Amino acid sequence: MGSTYTPNLGLKKPAYKDPDTFNAWDVVINTNMNTVDSAFGNRNYTEQNYISNSDTHTASINKLDIGLKDVADLAPTLLQKNALTASLVDSPSGTNRYVTHDYIRLARKEVLYPEFQSATFAPSPGGANVGTLSTDAEAVGDYIYNFYKWESSDAGAIQKYDISVQWRVPETFESWHATKALIVDICTEENVTTNNYVTVILSKDGAAGSVSSANICSGTAGIWCAERNSGQLIVFTAVNLGTTLALGAGDTLNIVIRMSSWNDAYVKIGAITIQYVG
């Protein structure tokens, strides 16, 4: 039996991936595809097929059987692939509109300067812990150091005082700096620990365990041991924070800085430097 069909019937495919229930064949309704086009260039996702009077029955059926285009111009470029898979680091430029995952997650340095926001202060547990805590700033060469100063005139025993700071690891965090994940700047009046020293204790909020750098004083009396002058002495690594404490995105880092002084030997605490990729 011969086929029958309506003469001069033209069915034009929608320009993009629109629903089959689409009732206006020549109008683009799904404007979301414009967003894709603006990023990846204009693409025809389907062939536009017409049934004409001269088509055979088989040709007519084939034209109604609409499939996706399979042509080279639909394939993503190398830069587009890199942007999607982050397999390489590609920087944005005049010829590259795409940014890779690795480019976005840069190495970052966050510095907390005294007076630390939301810090708390209290005598260390145990003992009378009598002394004076003050804040100030001083210029040393081309650097200016804001600091906390703890000093005790007690001659009977070492007197200790704690500064506690909490810092939340950003949601974009990826990894810690290998060798200098966290640094605390210090300056002590004497270069021996008899009368002055600093201990820093780190822990992950809500988890047991800690890491510490204990009983540290300046290598040279009265000289800052700081990240800025590359003289840092209190340094924590990626192993300390990432492996031992298992600190990751969204976690809270507890930082306790314990200052110890007696016989009028002061301890100064400067900036906290935190370095990570994220």
Residue finishing a domain among 76, 104, 132? 104
> Could you read off the pLDDT of 84-115 as tens digits, one per residue?
655 555 555 666 666 655 566 788 999 999 99
Q: Residue 254 corresponds to which amino acid? A: N
Q: What is the pLDDT of residue 18?
A: 47
DSSP symbols for 139-200: EETTEEEEEEEEE---SSS-EEEEEEEEEEPPTT--EE-SS-SEEEEEEESSSSTTTEEEEE
Q: What is the pLDDT of residue 75?
A: 66
Q: Quick check: helix, strand or coil at residue 84? A: helix
Whether residue 129 is contained in a domain is answered as yes
Whether residue 212 is contained in a domain is answered as yes
% of the chain exceeding 90 in pLDDT: 60
**How far is it, in rounded angstroms, from Cα 203 to Cα 256?**
9
Cα-trace Rg, the chain = 33
> Which domain, by its residues, includes 86?
32-104
Lowest-confidence segment of 18-32, 64-78, 131-145, 245-259 by average pLDDT: 18-32
Count the neighbouring beta carbons within 10 Å of the beta carbon of residue 26: 9
Q: Are residues 147 and 94 in the same domain?
A: no
Average pLDDT estimate for 249-268: 98
Residue 230 contacts by C-beta under 8 Å, 6 or more apart in sequence? Answer: none
Whether residue 12 is contained in a domain is answered as no
Whether pLDDT at 228 is above 80: yes
Q: Quick check: helix, strand or coil at residue 78? A: helix
Q: Are residues 91 and 172 in the same domain?
A: no
Average pLDDT estimate for 193-222: 98
**How far is it, in rounded angstroms, from Cα 145 to Cα 269?**
9
Q: What is the pLDDT of residue 84?
A: 62
Q: What is the pLDDT of residue 13?
A: 44
Name which residue leads in pLDDT, 222 or 33.
Answer: 222
Residue finishing a domain among 80, 104, 128? 104
Per DSSP, 241 falls in state I
Q: Are residues 151 and 271 in the same domain?
A: yes
Q: Are residues 98 and 134 in the same domain?
A: no
Whether residue 86 is contained in a domain is answered as yes
DSSP symbols for 96-124: -----HHHHS-EEEEEEPSSPTT-EEEEP
Is 183:234 a contact under the CB 8 Å cutoff?
Answer: yes
Q: What is the pLDDT of residue 232?
A: 97
Round the average pLDDT of the chain to a whole number and report it: 81
Whether pLDDT at 138 is above 70: yes
Whether residue 167 is contained in a domain is answered as yes
Q: What is the pLDDT of residue 20?
A: 52
> Could you read off the pLDDT of 7-54 as tens digits, one per residue?
444 444 444 444 454 454 445 555 555 555 555 555 444 445 566 778
Is 234:213 a contact under the CB 8 Å cutoff?
Answer: yes
Name which residue leads in pLDDT, 33 or 249.
Answer: 249
Q: What is the pLDDT of residue 271?
A: 98
Predicted TM-score (pTM) above 0.75: no
Is 273:116 a contact under the CB 8 Å cutoff?
Answer: no
Name which residue leads in pLDDT, 131 or 89.
Answer: 131
Number of domains in the chain: 2
Q: Are residues 245 and 182 in the same domain?
A: yes
Q: Are residues 175 and 82 in the same domain?
A: no
Whether residue 39 is contained in a domain is answered as yes
Q: What is the pLDDT of residue 11?
A: 44
Per DSSP, 68 falls in state B
Q: How many Cα atoms occupy the beta-carbon half-sphere of 47 within 13 Å? A: 12
% of the chain exceeding 70 in pLDDT: 67
Q: What is the pLDDT of residue 82?
A: 63
How far lies 161's CA from each of 38, 116, 200, in Å? 59, 16, 12
Whether residue 26 is contained in a domain is answered as no
User: Could you tell me which residues are beta bridge partners of residue 159?
Assistant: 261
Would you state the torsion angle of the CA atoms of residues 80, 86, 87, 90, taken in this order, to the nearest 10 degrees?
70
Whether pLDDT at 242 is above 50: yes
Q: Are residues 122 and 236 in the same domain?
A: yes
Whether pLDDT at 6 is above 50: no
Distance spanning both ends of the chain, measured CA to CA: 70
Q: Are residues 169 and 199 in the same domain?
A: yes
**How far is it, in rounded angstroms, from Cα 278 to Cα 273?**
15
Residue finishing a domain among 104, 139, 158? 104
